[in-house]
Chains A and B, each alone.
Chain A
Amino acid sequence: DTGVSQDPRHKITKRGQNVTFRCDPISEHNRLYWYRQTLGQGPEFLTYFQNEAQLEKSRLLSDRFSAERPKGSFSTLEIQRTEQGDSAMYLCASSFIHGSNTEAFFGQGTRLTVV
């Protein structure tokens, strides 16, 4: 499968623990996005990378959240001191930016449950 892959698919953690998710984008894509989706809502933008540079963060991304894309390939999203409100599906998407046209390809997501 040459699509966007995310690991793990599911994560259950206790409140206060740290968790880390990984995203492997489509190999030739230069942009990588993280979104969060809660029940009954559409995906909400968190942050994105152009190659290894993190170019924008949403106000949804509190200081407990950090994302990296160290070599411009895979990315990690870490949540420190998890809270019950962090329970959500975390989606990764990648795209190849050509002019102003963008088409993002999504992974299957990591479902986080904080108990």
Chain B
Amino acid sequence: AQSVSQHNHHVILSEAASLELGCNYSYGGTVNLFWYVQYPGQHLQLLLKYFSGDPLVKGIKGFEAEFIKSKFSFNLRKPSVQWSDTAEYFCAVGGSQGNLIFGKGTKLSVKP
């Protein structure tokens, strides 16, 4: 069965700290991978996506993610977080019908 696992439920960092959020997936077909972000009171927004090609993907707001096929992972990284990065982050894999299978999400709190 297709599934996505996010390792951290809640991460608390100080501004300027580096961020890495873990994501592992289980999917048998061609993998399309996504990270979405949900800022407080707002809708889900796409941060970045991987369909094929360079496994290091750069997204908006300085985020990047690396697809490691051998580890079934797609971890999200940012070298230096800001208070405005406080949000909930969801990893997702594209299903066979174009639907998304989401992880449970990781809440990121950045202390000023």
Shortest beta-carbon distance from B13 to chain A in Å: 21
Which of B49, B100, B102, B104 has the most chain A CB within a 10 Å cutoff? B100
Q: Which residues of chain B are near A45, meaning CB under 8 Å? A: 95, 99-101
A25 beta carbon closer than 8 Å to chain B: no
CB neighbours of B101 from chain A (8 A) = 45
Determine the distance from Cα of A104 to Cα of B104 in the docked complex, in whole angstroms.
18
Per the CB 8 Å criterion, the residue count for chain B at the interface is 25
User: In the complex the two chains form, is A107's CB within 8 Å of B43's CB?
Assistant: yes
Given A55-B97, A56-B99, also A102-B43 (CB < 8 A): no
| A-contact bits for B10-38, CB 8 A (1 contact / 0 none) | 00000000000000000000101010100
Given known A-B contacts A100-B30, A104-B100, A43 and B95 have beta carbons under 8 A apart: no
Chain B neighbourhood of A55, CB < 8 A: 97
Nearest Cβ on chain A to B45's Cβ, whole angstroms: 8
- Nearest-neighbour CB distance to chain A for B48, whole angstroms, equals 11
Would you give the 0/1 interface string for A1-28, flagging 1 where the beta carbon is closer than 8 Å to chain B? 0011000000000000000000000000
Number of contacts between A and B (CB, 8 Å)? 61
Contact of A106 among B44, B98, B99 (CB under 8 A): B44
From 68 to 112 in chain A, residues with beta carbon under 8 angstroms from any chain B beta carbon are 91, 93, 95, 97, 100-109
User: What is the CA–CA distance of A4 and B46 in the complex, to the nearest angstrom?
Assistant: 14
When distances are taken between beta carbons in the complex, the residues of chain B under 8 Å from A33 are 98-100
Distance, CA A107 to CA B44, complexed state (A): 7
A100 to B51, CA, bound (A): 9
A residues in contact (CB < 8 Å) with B: 3-4, 31, 33, 35, 40-45, 48, 55-56, 91, 93, 95, 97, 100-109
Q: List 12 A-B contacts (CB under 8 A).
A: A4-B43, A35-B100, A42-B90, A42-B103, A43-B100, A48-B99, A93-B44, A104-B100, A105-B46, A106-B44, A107-B43, A108-B43
